[in-house]
Amino acid sequence: MKLVSLAASGLAELHDDELRGNQLNLELEVSVWLRRSGAELSTVPRALLALRGALLEVSSLDVDKEPIPLVIPDTKQAVPNLCVYLHGLIGRAAASNRCERSELVEVALAHLGAVAAGARLTS
């Protein structure tokens, strides 16, 4: 959950121009998330897809019309691709809810935490 939280907050704060070109800012951001969370790079795609699900759950977007990102086996390429996709999704979802990017991320993380807590209770 810590990795998802760091990723969500980081993606909400990134600007469009930071995702163009060589994406060095994004690579550094992912490196910080990994270091702070203690996670391995191989776990990032699953965490980002969990974030995607939470964002869609709390937004007013039509889930059936939202593209499903393809996750390629090369994690070093998959992670930046997913981050760029999620950055756009955060923007679309925030606009659909008429709120700030950071507000939407907070709601999505709270939702994801509640779902995870519920899953632990039923296990």
Distance CA 71, CA 78 (A): 6
Q: Considering just the CA atoms, what is the radius of gyration of the chain in Å? A: 14
Give the whole-number percent of the chain exceeding pLDDT 70.
95
Distance CA 122, CA 104 (A): 27
Angle at Cα 60 formed by Cα 55 and Cα 64, nearest 5°? 80
Determine the pLDDT at residue 117. 74
Q: Can you give the pTM of this predicted structure?
A: 0.90
Give residues with Cβ within 8 angstroms of 67, minimum separation 6.
85
Tens-digit pLDDT profile for residues 103-120: 999 999 999 988 777 676
Residue 23 has pLDDT above 70, yes or no: yes
Distance CA 20, CA 22 (A): 6
Determine the pLDDT at residue 20. 76
Tens-digit pLDDT profile for residues 64-86: 999 999 889 999 999 999 999 99
- Do 12 and 105 contact (CB within 8 A), yes or no? yes
Distance CA 10, CA 87 (A): 9
Exposed e or buried b per residue across 72-86, where buried means at least 16 C-beta atoms within 10 angstroms of its C-beta:
eeeeeebbebbbbbb
- Mean pLDDT score across all residues of the chain: 91
Domain limits, the chain: 2-122
Task: Report residue 64: phi and psi, to 5°.
Answer: -70, -20
Determine the pLDDT at residue 123. 62
